[in-house]
Amino acid sequence: MRRLSLVIVACAIPFIAFAQGPAISREDGFLIMWNSMHRPVEKTSEKMYADLSKTDSAYDVIRFAKSRNILGDAEKFQPKNSLALDVALTWLFRTRNIDDPKKITPKTLPDYLARYPIALLPKDDASMPTVTEDQLYFLMRSLDEDLQQEVHEVSLYSEQFNGQGTAFGEIFNMYALTAAHRTYPGNTLVKVTNVENQKSVTVRINDRGPYVKGRDMDLSLGAFTTIADRSEGVIHATFQRLGDANLVGPCFAPPTFAQRITKDTILMPGVPHVLHMSGALVLRATKPFVVRSVVYPDGIVSSIQKWVIPRNTYSFKPSIAGDYTFRLSSLNGYNRTMTMTVVQCEQ
Convert the pLDDT of each residue in 62-111 to its tens digit.
999 999 999 988 999 999 999 999 999 999 999 999 999 999 999 999 99
pLDDT of residue 115: 95
Amino acid identity of residue 291, one-letter, is V
pLDDT higher than 70, residue 2: no
**261 or 57, higher pLDDT:** 261
For residue 253, name the pLDDT band (cuts at 50, 70, 90): low
CA distance 63 to 41: 9
Terminal CA-CA length for the chain: 23
pLDDT of residue 141: 93
pLDDT of residue 249: 65
pLDDT of residue 10: 39
Rounded mean pLDDT, 11-29? 68
DSSP 8-state code for residue 40:
-
Tell me which fold the domain 255-343 belongs to: Immunoglobulin-like (2.60.40)
In 223-334, which ranges are E strands?
234-244, 257-260, 266-272, 274-276, 281-285, 289-295, 301-308, 314-316, 322-330
Percentage of residues of the chain with pLDDT beyond 70: 91
As its CATH architecture, domain 158-248 has: Beta Barrel (2.40)
pLDDT, tens digit, for every residue of 151-185? 999 999 999 999 899 999 999 999 888 999 999 99
Amino acid identity of residue 344, one-letter, is Q
CA distance 70 to 93: 9
pLDDT, tens digit, for every residue of 308-341? 998 888 989 898 999 999 999 999 989 999 999 9
Whole-number mean pLDDT of the chain? 89
For residue 20, name the pLDDT band (cuts at 50, 70, 90): low
- Listed in order, the ranges of the chain carrying CATH 2.60.40.10 are 255-343
pLDDT of residue 24: 94
For residue 7, name the pLDDT band (cuts at 50, 70, 90): very low
Pair 74, 61: CB distance under 8 Å:
no
Rounded mean pLDDT, 36-56? 92
- Listed in order, the ranges of the chain carrying CATH 2.40.40.10 are 158-248
The dihedrals phi and psi of 224, each to the nearest 5 degrees, come to -60, -45
Rounded mean pLDDT, 27-46? 92
**219 or 72, higher pLDDT:** 219
